[in-house]
Structure 1
């Protein structure tokens, strides 16, 4: 019995030492060996929605903005014929529905000061921003110089526009134009 226990403990100790050696080799590869410099994957997030394109990690309180899209402001409306509908509220509702009680995996595209622009996925959405564009609750944001272009986003918006989905079935002011008008009038979104 004691001999079996000693053999078992020896096997466990050898396994632990072998694993520790493999980890040390991965962390400090010998010179001349290429190893890609990949970013560490961010842990999954649970979020609370701030507006149609921003949310806050409930653990760290870090605010994230979905990259490449823009949505109506909270008080903005679109018009379908003579009927007004709250396109800003619809964008918030869409994002809440997509993220409520759901883990998000986000990848940082860029950071501007305190603003973290991300692309995010969940079990139900392979790309939240692309799905918002496809459903017509968001529009493409004019790209800043040097920003990466995402062809799938342009295609998703074109598909929504062609099918008259969401905003594309209505008359509305483009969010970027609305924001510029608000800035010119001294207001903030």
Structure 2
């Protein structure tokens, strides 16, 4: 009887502490930093669930090099700069150097927008939430899907192996 009561108390306290844990929200005027990061409240926030070509990465369109990473960064910057963005922090290290957030502008997910417009691919290690948008972007040849490209994570690995840390 005492053991059951103890177990019940432990379960209730864990459930209550999880429910009471406050969500960390960053909100304010944003600026685009690169292909998948924004500046918000003096913090760098990486968009959750996506991977976009690095600014240095090129794709091939019609057999010619195309600065797809730079264009992805421009698209994100154009979308958010000077506008109010709200981010739910998903991952944060102790020193607040790495913040990964699910960010929205006017209620629309920035990650979803990037994938839907072909400027990023869904990061399958984090989510499959954008699979529909990615399939639609690919079918419509939007953004990087209008070109030959290497998946951003593969490109970064190859750059590291060459000794070029992007």
Q: Normalised by the shorter chain, which TM-score bucket? A: 0.7 to 0.9
Give yes or no for the alignment of 1:177 onto 2:160. no
CA distance in 2, matches of 1:177, 1:40: 33
Query: Relative contact order (alpha carbons < 8 A, sep ≥ 6): 1 or 2 greater?
Result: 2
Counterpart of 2:82?
A: 101
CA distance in 2, matches of 1:67, 1:138: 11
CA displacement at 1:85 relative to structure 2: 1.7
| Ranges in structure 1 where 5+ consecutive residues have no aligned partner | 1-33
Give yes or no for the alignment of 1:139 onto 2:121. yes
| Aligned pairs for 1:94-133 within 5 A | 94-112=75-93, 114-123=97-106, 126-133=108-115
The structure with more radius of gyration: 1
CA distance in 2, matches of 1:82, 1:96: 27
Match of 1:56 among 30, 39, 61: 39
Task: Give the match's secondary structure for 1:107.
Answer: strand
CA distance in 1, matches of 2:134, 2:91: 22
Alignment deviations for residues 103-147 of structure 1 (CA, whole Å, 9 cap, x no partner): 001111222453111011112x6000101100001012240xxx4
Instruction: Find runs of 4+ consecutive structure 1 residues off by over 6 angstroms.
Output: none
**Richer in strand (by share):** 2
CA distance in 2, matches of 1:100, 1:116: 19
Task: Give the match's secondary structure for 1:133.
Answer: helix
CA displacement at 1:65 relative to structure 2: 0.3
Task: Give the match's secondary structure for 2:27.
Answer: coil
Task: Give the match's secondary structure for 1:104.
Answer: strand
CA distance in 1, matches of 2:65, 2:91: 36
- Using the size of structure 1 for normalisation, the TM-score is 0.71
Task: Give the match's secondary structure for 1:39.
Answer: coil
| Ranges in structure 2 where 5+ consecutive residues have no aligned partner | 1-15
CA distance in 1, matches of 2:158, 2:28: 34
